[in-house]
A and B are shown apart, each in its own frame.
Chain A
Amino acid sequence: MISEQEVKHIAKLARLELSEVEIKKMQKDLSVILDYFDLLKKSPKVRPIITQSSLIKGYGATRKDEAIPQKREVVEKIIASAPDKKDDYIKVKAIF
């Protein structure tokens, strides 16, 4: 059984505010699910093998790390979806 402390710690890492009721429910649900994962302990050991990505040409190809110019209207739409903004900037609360 996962402890209440552990649930709180994971929620903090995941940046999720959970109510006391949610923490209790999460503790119960996660415990059942994590117990089910114990099944994997029965699985045979494996040696690393070639992955799918190395078998198909062009799979997982990378591009140069460079900015791709976008149309002004796309930029405007993306900024518009931020809840808080000023001019072309997305506004955030103070760090502390």
Chain B
Amino acid sequence: MVDLTELTIKQAHEGLKSKKFTSVELTKAYLDKIKTIDKEINAYLLVDKEGALTQAEEADKKVATGEFGMLCGIPCSIKDAIMVEGQKCTAGSKILENYVAPYDATVIKKLKEQGAVILGKTNMDEFAMGGSGENSAFGATKNPYDKKRVAGGSSSGSAASVAGNEACYSLGSDTGGSIRLPASFCGVVGLKPTYGAVSRLGLIPFGSSLDQIGPVAKTVEDCKIIFDAIKGKDPADSTSVELEIGNSKLEIRNLRIGVPKEYFVKGLDPQVEKLIRDAIKKAQNAGAKIVEISLPSVEFALACYYIIAPCEASANLARFDGIKYGFSDNSANDLRDVYLKSRGHGFGDEVKRRIMIGTYALSSGYYDAYYKKAQEVRQLIKQDFAKAFDLSAGGVDLIFCPVSPVLAIKIGERTNDPLSMYLMDICTVSVNLAGLPALSLPAGKTKDNLPVGLQIIGNHFQESKILDVALQMEKILT
């Protein structure tokens, strides 16, 4: 018999439809897999066995009626920054260790309406701050392809759970690459939607002008199914929008694909470069017109991002004061001491570092040199992409580039050097600064069997264009 945990959403849906197996059987297969391998991988922070089986029983009733959606009865995992009512939601932090989510995030409401089965909550860098998953207060997630290496972050458990067949799909969040980077390192598909395409209600905020929830899945087709289920306007998130993201049915041979020269410079691992160049060559062989483009301001993107994101984080994380949620240091004498001690002892090193950077950059005397300057540079980056995607002026349909300049790093390799850790985000952050959608597609593996992701960037709300092309590229690349 086939291993049920290897199925895609589409295949599992077909299996349920043709009564080859039930959702309860499918769910049990995943729970068994988690029990067997997760001690080693550490993808999950919480496994809700009873809850998942109850949801699976409900789903089976729906399946029996013959009227059920694509996600009905399909087991998934959820990044621990996204609230699932009644379950702990730690965001990978000690400060929220015992926090129980009082309501469902909008994306969870939508998945539950479809009859989804939620297996549990996945590991992540504390408050989504990190590119390797090592900043989790509950230990790093290991890469299923090489357990001495990181799974990538911050949605480390989301990507590892899908890659290791511990979930059929997952929801992650992406502030500076946190879906795409682990998807690339773990050889799965991850989509960071356009800012505003998916409601952020119920997502523990990091950088509110950058954060987006998105799917992690085994295939592009699965990613599209999940994205269609979670997208749309939510009255409770004023930045979300209802958009007609139609079916474009594009063909690669009619496309102009831009390759930004700034993403192929010093520091790019030769093995990554080769796989990405090969993928681009294959797109060209399929008839696409490859155009070298320039995004001159992306040179400043990383510095810009590491000012704006920490500034927003320092404001967002002010709510964790030892009074409203979770951890509180009892040894404090007065109110101010409660703040100082609870935050000082509750947050991990990287979170404290970013709060410090943000507070510094926003403080009197430094605001203009840092925050204001970064906002100006953000405009330049937006303009670069707007120009690149201006088809009427000879622009391109999509941009192809690496997700990460490096392969999955070894655990501990960069933990003592924060800046070198930040540099892993060099190809992903500009997408968030510009609010664009982008997808990480497995482009192949190195001789050591380490996956490399091709990043496909589109113009605002052109998810369907990205997904259409990724679907064709997926066929070409495998």
Q: Kindly specify which of B27-35, B334-342, B397-405 makes contact with the partner chain.
A: B334-342
B306:A33 contact, CB within 8 angstroms: yes
Contact with B along A26-46 (1 / 0, CB 8 A): 100110111011011011111
A19: min CB distance to chain B, Å: 8
Instruction: Find chain A residues with CB under 8 A from B337 CB.
Output: 93
B359 proximal to A (CB < 8 A): yes
Query: Do B307 and A90 touch across chains, with their CB atoms under 8 A apart?
Result: no
**Which of A14, A16, A32, A40 meets B419, CB within 8 Å?**
A32
Q: Are A40 and B352 in contact (CB under 8 A)?
A: no
Tell me which of A16, A26, A37, A45 contacts B307 (CB under 8 A). Answer: A37
Q: Which residue of A lies closest to B379 (CB)?
A: A46
Per-position binary interface string of chain A over residues 8-27, scored 1 when its CB falls under 8 Å from any chain B CB and 0 otherwise: 00110111111000100110
Chain A contacts with B in 74-96, Cβ cutoff 8 A:
74, 77-78, 80-84, 90, 92-96
A16 and B356 contact, CB distance less than 8 A = yes
**Distance between A88 CB and nearest chain B CB, rounded to angstroms:** 14
B49 touches A (CB below 8 Å): no
User: A90 vs B377: C-alpha distance in the bound complex, in angstroms?
Assistant: 42
Residue-by-residue, is B241-255 near A (CB-CB < 8 Å gives 1, otherwise 0)? 110000000000000
Is A63 part of the contact surface with B, judged by Cβ < 8 Å?
yes
Contact A15-B418, Cβ < 8 Å, known A49-B379, A59-B196, A63-B238 = no
A15 to B443, CA, bound (A): 45
Q: How far is the CA of A48 from the CA of B170 in the complex (A)?
A: 39
* Complex CA distance for A94 and B165, rounded to whole angstroms: 51
- A46 in contact with B307 given A39-B300, A92-B335 (CB within 8 Å): no
B231 at the binding interface (Cβ < 8 Å): no
Q: Is the CB of B324 within 8 A of A90?
A: yes
Complex contact A60–B323 (CB within 8 A):
no
- CB contact under 8 A between A92 and B338, given known A10-B359, A37-B307, A84-B328: yes
Q: Mark B65-93, 1 if CB is under 8 A from A, else 0.
A: 00000000000000000000000000000
Query: Bound complex: CA of A2 vs CA of B195, how far in Å?
Result: 35
Residue of B nearest to A35 (CB): B419
- The reply to whether the CB of A1 lies closer than 8 angstroms to some CB of chain B is no
B131 CB–A CB distance under 8 Å = no
* Residues of chain A within 8 A of B314, CB atoms compared: 14
Chain A: interface residue count, which band?
Answer: 35 or more
- A18 vs B435: C-alpha distance in the bound complex, in angstroms? 35
B360 on interface, CB distance cutoff 8 Å:
yes
Is the CB–CB distance between B347 and A16 below 8 Å? yes
Cβ-defined contact, A39 with B327, below 8 A: no
Which residues, 303 to 358 on B, are CB-close (under 8 Å) to A? 303-304, 306-307, 314, 318, 321-328, 332-341, 343-345, 347, 349, 352-353, 355-358
Q: Which residues of B contact A39 (CB under 8 A)?
A: 299-300, 303
Most buried by A among B103, B303, B358, B422: B303
Given contacts A37-B306, A58-B241, contact A78 B343 (CB under 8 A): no
Q: Does A56 contact B (CB under 8 A)?
A: yes
B293 contacts A by Cβ under 8 Å: no
In contact, A82 and B100 (Cβ under 8 angstroms): no
A15-B343 contact given A52-B435, A78-B102, CB 8 Å threshold: yes
* 4 A-B pairs closest in CB distance: A17-B344, A77-B102, A83-B328, A17-B340
* B interface residues with partner A (beta carbon < 8 Å): 99-100, 102-103, 195-196, 233, 235, 238-239, 241-242, 297, 299-300, 302-304, 306-307, 314, 318, 321-328, 332-341, 343-345, 347, 349, 352-353, 355-360, 363, 370, 373-374, 376-377, 379-380, 382-383, 418-419, 422, 435, 460
